[in-house]
């Protein structure tokens, strides 16, 4: 039996899973099922990428050890794949003992073969965050905290990547499908042709990582560590090399340049293929935690089912290109293609067999025209699946659904049932519809596993649809006399308004749940107010005239603020930890001008200054990008 070993990226544990991560894992699960249908012994590995400075920092902010912190989030990913019913064979964490051994082993092999050396790494370092800022130039600010970076040199191990330029170009040349799609391959080739520089693969400034053998002050750079998971996940199982690394397009360089070079350096076999898909966009931007435009998978799973999400992602987005997610499009596809298309074909076919033939598949060879069409669609859809052209394959399968629908309408079995001597014709119509439905169901099972299993059972099969092989897809495999199972709707129609509202509601709940898992608090929703309520608040632009610390208080500053009235306001604000008094003079701010005056530490405060309240952090004053006149009202 041919083995097929495929992987997804291992996901960072600095954020909880969203449908961007689900997209890759669902595609991988679909490929797993397709390869299984071809009779391969398939192993799908995924996991979590848990080392590095970001995790160290996030854990510290919550008073946890990095291990405690990553345990929780890694579990969150594992749980997510379980809820979505994805068939994961290996889940590897970079914090496993086996991983440490494999990474150290890879390094030893490279060292023995003279592929690594000790050198000095000079880069821009953020003293506050204790981290090098990759790709920063002298004078650049830290992208995380905005403070200036400093040029720092530390001792590192280097991998001789510069010696691999020609070897990699030969690899891409000799194995044209090593990187796919073509656009990504061209990008990589252009990048490598510019020549490669040696790569630093260890750090001494990071603690949370796998130590270099015999030199524990060095830990491995995250990518040297992370990529090795693909091997450690199947250590000792004779599954390496991987047949496919499925990834998102932003990490192509690591997979198509660094990874094969490390493996060549260690004298180990290379993966056979790297396929990079595009980004899932939401509201025209890449969906990501930092952009805050995330949609989670479980609300969709609860309202429409995981198959609806799988279908949408693989049908709507051309695999390899970017594509947009929207709730409207999701429900639209669900209703038109699943409820009306496939669901309708299944229920009308099966109910007619119940009604006219007592629930038993009639004997007939079926209609030769539909049989031919089914065979043509089967081979072209399988060929498209083989190239990961999911959208195209599904489009073809749905053209067969439309053809069978049309056939049923033309044959009008409800009329045939009334015609004297119409029995044979009716048998043929019903058999054709049922046999086409069986082939369609088997073909879509890798994409819609749960629904296909239900239809398969309703067709009267007692075995699992996962046991169907490509050889079973030929016409005439459905046995006459087979008794149907109980018929029920597989895709009940969804009311767009109600289902979208429900998903959005559950999305808020899921966000809160994930935040709680991450140890963060979520602001409670505030009840709606009317515009009249809002207009009761007199918000004004003010300019700070002077500021001074309030004696015996770490938090309070006493400010005088001109808001366009004859006399400046005296305002006491809890911003001393974030702002030095002298830095505030002349700054324009937003003021709540009609807040009832009150005394703080004996000083009358005649209003309130507006600031964002940051979790566990300092307040951040609201300010204006354009020049605004003092006294202007905020509405
Ligand atoms: N830990 C690294 C990968 C190491 S692999 C040896 C990493 N992790 S990640 O958590 O950021 O996950 C990145 C992967 O998640 C992407 O390559 C892609 O597979 C998936 N996606 C995350 N957001 C996505 C979208 N918005 N759209 C499509 N895929 C997305 O990078």
C-alpha 306 – ligand 1 centre gap (Å): 20
Rg from Cα positions in the chain: 31
Is the C-beta atom of 320 inside 6 A of ligand 1? Answer: no
Average pLDDT over residues 410-438: 94
CB of 467 closer than 8 Å to CB of 379: no
Judged by average pLDDT, the poorest of 35-39, 324-328, 529-533 is: 529-533
- CA torsion 104→109→110→111, rounded to 10°? 80
C-alpha 332 – ligand 1 centre gap (Å): 27
Task: Indicate if the pLDDT at residue 132 is higher than 70.
Answer: yes
Where are the alpha helices (H) located in 233-367, listed in sequence order?
A: 252-253, 259-266, 297-303, 306-316, 327-333, 344-357
Q: Which atom of ligand 1 sits closest to the CA of residue 246?
A: 19
Average pLDDT over residues 17-38: 97
Is the C-beta atom of 99 inside 6 A of ligand 1? Answer: no
Residue 549, classed as helix, strand or coil, is strand
Average pLDDT over residues 345-359: 97
CB of 431 closer than 8 Å to CB of 445: no
DSSP 142: P
Is the C-beta atom of 387 inside 6 A of ligand 1? Answer: no
C-alpha 248 – ligand 1 centre gap (Å): 6
Where are the alpha helices (H) located in 38-149, listed in sequence order?
A: 53-61, 66-83, 97-112
Cα(122)–Cα(19) distance, rounded to whole angstroms? 38
pTM (predicted TM-score): 0.84
Q: Would you give the distance in Å from CA 331 to the centre of its chain? A: 20
pLDDT tens for residues 457-505? 999 999 999 999 999 999 999 999 999 999 999 999 999 999 999 999 9
Residues 6+ apart with CB under 8 A from 209: 51, 52, 203, 219, 220, 221, 222, 225
- Look at the block and give the residue holding tokens 């070079």: 261
Task: Indicate if the pLDDT at residue 258 is higher than 90.
Answer: yes
Of the pLDDT bands very low, low, confident and very high (cuts 50, 70, 90), residue 293 is confident
CB of 541 closer than 8 Å to CB of 630: yes
C-alpha 123 – ligand 1 centre gap (Å): 26
pLDDT tens for residues 171-211? 999 999 999 999 999 999 999 999 999 999 998 888 899 99
Pick 1 or 51 by higher pLDDT. Answer: 51
Phi/psi region, residue 359 (left: phi>0; alpha: psi -120 to 50; beta: rest), is: left
Is the C-beta atom of 307 inside 6 A of ligand 1? Answer: no
Cα(9)–Cα(246) distance, rounded to whole angstroms? 7
Q: Estimate the crossing angle of helix 306-316 against helix 390-411, to 10 degrees.
A: 110
Cα(157)–Cα(140) distance, rounded to whole angstroms? 25
Q: Which atom of ligand 1 sits closest to the CA of residue 49?
A: 1
Is the C-beta atom of 26 inside 6 A of ligand 1? Answer: no
Q: Quick one: pLDDT at residue 525?
A: 63
C-alpha 243 – ligand 1 centre gap (Å): 19
Is the C-beta atom of 253 inside 6 A of ligand 1? Answer: no
**What residue's CA is closest to ligand 1, atom 28?**
279
Task: Indicate if the pLDDT at residue 616 is higher than 60.
Answer: no
Is the C-beta atom of 47 inside 6 A of ligand 1? Answer: no
What is the overall mean pLDDT for the chain?
Answer: 93
Of the pLDDT bands very low, low, confident and very high (cuts 50, 70, 90), residue 516 is confident
Q: Quick one: pLDDT at residue 121?
A: 85
Other CB atoms within 10 Å distance of the CB of residue 119: 12
Q: Estimate the crossing angle of helix 259-266 against helix 165-174, to 10 degrees.
A: 100
Pocket test for ligand 1, best of 248, 255, 282 (most atoms within 8 A of CB): 248
Other CB atoms within 10 Å distance of the CB of residue 526: 6
C-alpha 19 – ligand 1 centre gap (Å): 11
DSSP 133: -
Q: Quick one: pLDDT at residue 385?
A: 98
Cα(61)–Cα(521) distance, rounded to whole angstroms? 13
Q: Quick one: pLDDT at residue 43?
A: 98
How would you class 281 by CB atoms within 10 Å of its CB: exposed for 0-12, middle for 13-18, buried for 19 or more? middle
Q: Quick one: pLDDT at residue 617?
A: 62
Q: Of all helices (H) and strands (E), which one includes residue 620? A: strand 620-621
**What residue's CA is closest to ligand 1, atom 13?**
11
pLDDT tens for residues 266-286? 999 999 999 999 999 987 788
Of the pLDDT bands very low, low, confident and very high (cuts 50, 70, 90), residue 130 is low
Is the C-beta atom of 110 inside 6 A of ligand 1? Answer: no
Of the pLDDT bands very low, low, confident and very high (cuts 50, 70, 90), residue 553 is confident
The distance between the two most distant Cα atoms of the chain, rounded to a whole number of Å, is: 104
Produce one character per residue of 285-305: b if its CB has 16 or more CB atoms within 10 Å, e if not. ebbbeeeebbbbbbbbbebbb
Q: Estimate the crossing angle of helix 449-458 against helix 344-357, to 10 degrees.
A: 10
């Amino acid at each position: 039996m041919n083995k097929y070993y495929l992987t997804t990226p291992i996901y960072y544990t600095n954020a909880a899973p969203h449908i961007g991560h689900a997209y890759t894992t669902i595609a991988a699960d679909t490929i797993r099922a397709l390869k299984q249908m071809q009779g391969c012994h398939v192993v799908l590995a995924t996991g979590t990428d848990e080392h590095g400075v970001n995790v160290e920092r996030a854990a510290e902010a919550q008073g946890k050890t990095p291990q405690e912190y990553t345990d929780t989030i890694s579990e969150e990913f594992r749980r997510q794949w379980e809820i979505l019913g994805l068939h994961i064979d290996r889940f590897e964490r970079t914090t496993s003992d086996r991983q440490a051994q494999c990474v150290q082993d890879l390094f030893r092999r490279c060292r023995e073969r003279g592929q690594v050396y000790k050198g000095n790494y000079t880069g821009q370092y953020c003293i506050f965050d204790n981290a090098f800022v990759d790709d920063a130039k002298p004078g650049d600010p830290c992208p995380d905290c905005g403070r200036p970076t400093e040029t720092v040199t530390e001792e590192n191990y280097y991998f001789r990547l510069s010696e691999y330029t020609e070897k990699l170009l030969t690899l891409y040349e000799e194995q044209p499908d090593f990187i796919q799609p073509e656009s990504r391959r061209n990008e990589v080739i252009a990048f490598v042709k510019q020549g490669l520089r040696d790569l630093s693969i260890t750090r001494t400034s990071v603690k949370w990582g796998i130590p270099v053998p015999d030199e524990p002050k060095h830990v491995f750079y995250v990518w040297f560590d992370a990529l090795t998971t693909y091997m450690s996940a199947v250590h000792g199982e004779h599954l390496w090399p991987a047949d496919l690394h499925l990834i998102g397009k932003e990490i192509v360089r690591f997979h198509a340049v660094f990874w094969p070079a490390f493996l060549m350096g260690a004298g180990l076999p290379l993966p056979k293929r790297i396929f990079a898909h595009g980004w899932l966009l939401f509201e025209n931007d890449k969906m990501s935690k930092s952009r805050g435009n995330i949609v989670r998978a479980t609300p969709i799973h609860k309202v429409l089912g995981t198959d609806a999400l799988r279908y949408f992602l693989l049908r709507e987005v051309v695999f390899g290109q970017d594509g947009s997610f929207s709730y409207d499009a999701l429900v639209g596809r669900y209703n038109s293609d699943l409820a009306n298309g496939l669901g309708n074909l299944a229920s009308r076919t099966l109910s007619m067999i119940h009604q006219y033939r007592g629930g038993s598949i009639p004997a007939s060879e079926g209609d030769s025209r539909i049989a031919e069409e089914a065979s043509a669609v089967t081979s072209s859809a399988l060929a498209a699946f083989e190239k990961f052209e999911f959208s195209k394959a599904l489009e073809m399968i749905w053209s067969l659904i439309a053809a069978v629908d049309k056939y049923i309408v033309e044959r009008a079995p409800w009329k045939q049932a009334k015609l004297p001597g119409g029995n044979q014709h009716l048998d043929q119509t019903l058999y054709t519809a049922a046999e086409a439905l069986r082939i369609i169901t088997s073909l879509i099972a890798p994409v819609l596993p749960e629904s296909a299993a239900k239809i398969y059972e309703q067709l009267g099969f007692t075995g699992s649809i996962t046991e169907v092989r490509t050889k079973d897809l030929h016409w005439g495999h459905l046995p006459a006399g087979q008794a149907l199972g109980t018929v029920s709707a597989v895709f009940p129609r969804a009311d767009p308004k109600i289902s979208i509202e429900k998903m959005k509601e559950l999305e808020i709940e899921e966000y809160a749940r994930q935040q709680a898992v991450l140890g963060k608090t979520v602001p409670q929703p505030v009840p709606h107010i009317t515009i009249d309520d809002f207009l009761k608040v007199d918000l004004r632009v003010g300019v700070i005239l002077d500021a001074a610390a309030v004696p015996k208080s770490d938090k309070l500053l006493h400010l005088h603020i001109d808001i366009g009235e004859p006399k400046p306001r005296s305002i006491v604000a809890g911003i001393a930890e974030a702002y030095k008094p002298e830095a505030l003079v002349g700054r324009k701010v937003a003021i709540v001008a009609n807040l009832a005056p009150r005394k703080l530490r004996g000083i009358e405060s005649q209003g309130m200054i507006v600031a964002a309240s940051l979790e566990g952090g300092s307040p951040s004053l609201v300010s204006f990008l354009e020049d605004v006149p003092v006294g202007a009202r905020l509405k």
